[in-house]
Amino acid sequence: MSQNSLQRRLGLLQATAINMTDMVGIGPFITLPMVIGMMNGPYFLYAWLAGAVLSLVDAMVWSELGAAFPKAGGSYNFLKETYGKQGFGRLMSFLFVWQTMIQAPLVIASAAIGFASYFSYLVPLSTLQSKLISGAVVICIIALLYRKIEHIGKISVLLWGAVLCTMFWIIGGGLAHGNFAAPIRHVNDGITLNYAFVAAIGFASVKSVYSYLGYYNVCHLGEEIINPSRNIPRSMFLSIAGIAILYLCMNISVVSVIPWQQAKDSQFVISDFMEQLAGHTAAKIVTCLILLVAFASVFSATLGYSRIPYAAAADGAFFKVFARLHPTGNFPYVSLLVLGAIAFVFSLLFKLSDVISAILAMRILIQFISQAIGLYLLRRVKSQTEFPYKMPLFPLPIFLAVLMWAGILISTGVTMVLGGLAAIATGTIVYFIKARINREWPYKPAVLK
């Protein structure tokens, strides 16, 4: 195998670990009170179920594409394949890389900002100190990722272990000392199935879905996954099922000790939960573990995103410098360093509440909705034998995914939707300028195959 190409070194265990560590970052600990506040009732658990259902439905789309096109870059390759390599797919895949150069650093920065925010439970921080810590987290992540993929796989499994231990401790605390059955028994208290409830689910799902994002991270590493046609779908479904159970149990555990009316206003809800159960020292320990989980999430997300500009550049569709691999480590070091640098700047500039909605609004149209529609179009013209994984009830999951993502997009708010459209419009202009200079589609006729 060429020393200038990525190598398949990650098995099912490592792929699942990478996905789950990406999914369980600071998100669920920060968004837990947000979701309760938006639902404003014991039925807030339905927002977490809604996030799990959307993730499972969308994972069917990712599984078909990931198993059929197991290459580095994930959606970059999917959009190119589904919309035509030499035609419209060139624009769609470029737009994905374009928005990735913005939203990927936003994702990394959001976890770093959340890390600094939760760190203030241990030591009160000024605004400047908080920014310095979030920036330091990004730098540490880049330093850890600056190595061979097999070493990263081992680190991912260790970080995954820390994630599971933290979640099990939180859940175990509620089982041992709380009234674990009460939140389940009273989940429907005061519920009214009307427009207000549906709207609340929509707005709360913006936060809960954010905490599930990352189940597709394995697709970005497709070229480094062993037996991808089996391990890519399996790792996604295992990740979503496992995380959904952990999230629901964690939420139930917390409100079995701290009433939801109190939990929705807590800035450090898990730390407050543990302090009430086992005292201030235990609260500090669990806070440290949450910070480790947040760090693990940034680690996993940055790993996956660094492969996207590399894949596009190696394909000749992005700046050539991003196609460079480290001479001894065989990892895309230029892509890693550039995304890290942008994330570092974002971590110093933005607030967490703004970043969460911006992340979703920016990626839904190009990455999720367009990708699902593209799969539907591709399945109509390609033989089913070209898809190692086939979703059940095709094409119903595709239509459901598109509808649900559209609902989430609307729920992010007009400002965020307009911001996402502005990013797409800007990227489209840049693409056509680039295409004109390089005489690419549409200035060069598409090659029919």
For residue range 259-299, what is the model confidence (pLDDT) as tens digits?
999 999 998 999 999 999 999 999 999 999 889 888 887 88
pLDDT of amino acid 148: 82
How far, in Å, CA of 93 to CA of 97, rounded?
Answer: 6
Per-residue confidence at 2, pLDDT binned at 50, 70, 90?
A: very low
pLDDT of amino acid 338: 95
Share of the chain above pLDDT 90, in %: 57
* Mean pLDDT value across residues 316-324: 88
How far, in Å, CA of 124 to CA of 323, rounded?
Answer: 43
The tokens describing 222, both together, are: 């497709």
The tokens describing 198, both together, are: 């549906």
Beta bridge pairs of residue 221: 72
Q: Is residue 340 part of a domain?
A: yes
Q: Return mean pLDDT, the chain.
A: 89
Q: How far is CA 74 from CA 48, 68, 309, 311, 359, in A?
A: 26, 11, 11, 9, 17
Residue 383 pLDDT > 70: yes
How far, in Å, CA of 174 to CA of 161, rounded?
Answer: 20
Cα dihedral 110, 113, 115, 119 in deg (nearest 10): -160
Q: Is residue 334 part of a domain?
A: yes
pLDDT of amino acid 353: 64
Residue 4 pLDDT > 70: no
Residue 447 pLDDT > 60: no
Consecutive H or E run containing 437: helix 414-438
Q: Are 339 and 107 in contact (CB under 8 A)?
A: no
* Mean pLDDT value across residues 10-36: 88
Number of H helices, E strands in the chain: 20, 0
The tokens describing 257, both together, are: 């000790």
Q: How many domains does the chain have?
A: 1
Q: How far is CA 233 from CA 65, 105, 171, 402, in A?
A: 10, 26, 28, 20
**What is the pTM assigned to this prediction?**
0.86
Q: Is residue 180 part of a domain?
A: yes
pLDDT of amino acid 5: 72
* Mean pLDDT value across residues 393-403: 95
pLDDT of amino acid 1: 44
Closest by Cα among 121, 153, 132, 136 to 13: 153
Closest by Cα among 229, 321, 247, 178 to 27: 247
The alpha-helical segments, DSSP class H, found in 5-44 are 12-23, 27-39
pLDDT of amino acid 157: 83
pLDDT tens string 359-378: 778 789 899 999 999 999 99
pLDDT of amino acid 163: 84
Q: Which single residue is written with the structure tokens 């709360």?
A: 204
pLDDT tens string 229-257: 999 999 999 999 999 999 999 999 999 99
Q: Is residue 447 part of a domain?
A: no
Closest by Cα among 303, 369, 362, 337 to 111: 303
pLDDT tens string 141-189: 999 899 887 788 788 788 888 888 999 999 999 998 888 899 999 999 9
Q: Is residue 444 part of a domain?
A: no
DSSP assignment of 187-209 equals TTTT---SHHHHHHHHHHHHHHH
pLDDT of amino acid 245: 95
Q: Is residue 293 part of a domain?
A: yes
The tokens describing 159, both together, are: 């970080």
How far, in Å, CA of 115 to CA of 27, rounded?
Answer: 10
Residue 448 pLDDT > 60: no
Closest by Cα among 112, 101, 261, 249 to 184: 249
Total length of the chain: 449
Q: Are 318 and 302 in contact (CB under 8 A)?
A: no
The boundaries of the domain holding residue 59 are 12-438
Beta bridge pairs of residue 10: 225
pLDDT of amino acid 354: 67
pLDDT of amino acid 121: 93
Per-residue confidence at 446, pLDDT binned at 50, 70, 90?
A: low
Q: Is residue 114 part of a domain?
A: yes
Q: Which single residue is written with the structure tokens 């109190």?
A: 262
Return the CATH number at 174: 1.20.1740.10
Q: Is residue 443 part of a domain?
A: no
pLDDT tens string 54-98: 999 999 999 999 999 999 889 999 999 999 988 999 999 999 999
Q: Are 81 and 89 in contact (CB under 8 A)?
A: yes
